[in-house]
Homo-oligomer: A and B are copies of this chain.
Amino acid sequence: MLAPILPSPSSSPADSPKPLLQAIAGVKPTRRPVWFMRQAGRSLPEYRRVREGIGMLDSCFMPELLAEITLQPVRRHDVDAAILFSDIVVPLKAAGVGVEIVAGRGPVMERACSSADECASVPILEGDIPELTEGIGLIRQGLTASQTLIGFAGAPFTLASYLVEGGPSKNHEKTKTMMHANPHAWHTLMQRLTPTIIRFLEIQIAAGVEVVQLFDSWVGFITERDYREHVLPYSTQILDAVAQLGVPRIHFGVGTGELLGAMSEAGSEVMGVDWRVPLDVAATRMVTPRVLQGNLDPALLFAGESVVRDEVARICAEADRACASGDALGHIFNLGHGVLPHTDPDAITRAVECVHQH
């Protein structure tokens, strides 16, 4: 077991020189913090160069490469945070699950889980991941005093969907069938994934990540009713475990307009908002006020500088309105989903500059 890392009074986020931690602490940041989901990755030519001939999952277990990929967008775009380069299935791979990332398709499991017995035999991550620890150490060395390192884990619903479907799914019918027709198997699976994700985040925190983002790619495919019964208890456990280590938490899912209230009950300081819901509207759906993260539509990075400028202004105004009314506690600028692969990196750099003017 790792020793909990509790914030000492002298390292209170409010006193931090890091705009992202300032915003999370609810104090006025020295500048509006911005980072972009998937800022590290395929949009950058320097990423495509260093990944050449190296598998996606392999790259997540190579410390120097992991650090280089994570730092590339920070160097290029002047964002306020690095997000650990990783993949949703890295903790499964580390736990011993047979999984490969197939180009053009996504993560594919050696075998899918359908019965309660199969769910019960999913391995749990217990040990260390020395490559990850080393990589995070290198990343921290590459960041300035004002830049924050965000850790990353996929949420248990999304991991469960990959395991039950055997890979990416358009409709998640096997996952929903298990939830409804075999809830025992479902809960067994979620109870195996939860400690794996907690352990994955503990390793990251012990190694030096300062904030974590729990990312639920597919949760927008289920109803609020199913979310509350089949997902919320597990996401809450994970976020609670991170809080006990004194680390603030960001929680995000795609297409979650109907789920924002329920997701906010899981307890994160920061709620990420998909581009479909204006931030001031999203703020009113939270059970208690939160710091909001979002929510430029990544597709609009293709639409040219003046469109992006207008969108950034609108989003900042919506966030500021929510803060002024007391519905929100702060704003971290981000996209409303990840950077799309063919995005022009210069459009990202310019968007970051623009955010910093607000």
Which A residues are closer than 8 A to B by beta carbons?
171-174, 176-177, 180-181, 220, 223, 225, 255, 257-258, 275-278, 297-300, 302-304, 307, 340
Q: Which residue of B lies closest to A310 (CB)?
A: B180
A171 contacts across to B, CB distance below 8 A:
298-299, 340
Contact of A303 among B176, B255, B300, B340 (CB under 8 A): B176
B contact residues around A257 at 8 Å (CB): 257-258
Q: Which 8 A-B pairs have the closest CB atoms?
A: A173-B299, A177-B303, A176-B299, A180-B307, A181-B303, A180-B303, A173-B302, A177-B302
Distance in angstroms between the alpha carbons of A298 and B221 in the assembled complex: 12
Copies in the complex: 2
Contact across chains for B340 and A173 when beta carbons are under 8 A apart:
yes
Residue from B180, B300, B307 within 8 A of A300 (CB atoms): B180
- Of chain B, the residue at the smallest CB distance from A176 is B299
Picked from B181, B255, B276, B302, the residue with its CB within 8 Å of the CB of A174 is B302
Residue in A275, A277, A303 whose Cβ sees the most chain B Cβ within 10 Å: A303
A171-B299, A176-B303 known, 11 other contacts, Cβ within 8 Å = A171-B340, A173-B302, A176-B299, A176-B300, A177-B300, A177-B303, A177-B304, A181-B303, A220-B276, A257-B257, A258-B276
Pick the contact of A277 from B177, B258, B298, B307 — CB < 8 Å? B258
- A275 — which chain B residues lie within 8 A by C-beta? 223
CB nearest neighbor in B for A343 = B173
What are 11 A-B pairs at a CB distance below 8 A? A171-B298, A171-B340, A173-B298, A176-B299, A176-B303, A181-B304, A181-B307, A223-B276, A223-B278, A225-B278, A258-B276
The residue among A172, A275, A297, A298 with the most chain B CB atoms within 10 A of its own CB is A297
Q: How far is the CA of A302 from the CA of B177 in the complex (A)?
A: 6
Which residues from chain B contact A176 at a C-beta distance below 8 Å?
A: 297, 299-300, 302-303
Which residue of B has the minimal Cβ distance to A307? B180
Q: Which B residues are in CB contact (< 8 Å) with A299?
A: 171-173, 176-177
Residue of B nearest to A275 (CB): B223
Contact, CB under 8 Å: B297 / A223: yes
- Nearest residue (CB) in B for A277 is B258
Smallest Cβ-Cβ distance to A311: which chain B residue: B180
Q: How far is the CB of A221 from chain B (nearest CB, A)?
A: 8
A312 to nearest B CB, angstroms? 13
| CB-defined contacts of A174 to chain B, threshold 8 Å | 302
Min CB distance, A168 to chain B, in Å? 12
- Please measure, in the bound complex, the distance between the C-alpha atom of A174 and the C-alpha atom of B340, giving whole angstroms: 12
Q: Considering the chains assembled together, what is the distance between the CA atoms of A340 and B304 in angstroms?
A: 38
A348 to B174, CA, bound (A): 17
Q: How far is the CA of A176 from the CA of B223 in the complex (A)?
A: 27
CA A297 – CA B258 in complex, angstroms?
Answer: 15
* A4–chain B nearest beta-carbon distance, Å: 38
Q: Complex formed: what's the CA distance from A303 to B300 in Å?
A: 39
Which residues of chain B are within 8 angstroms of A177 by Cβ–Cβ distance?
A: 299-300, 302-304, 307
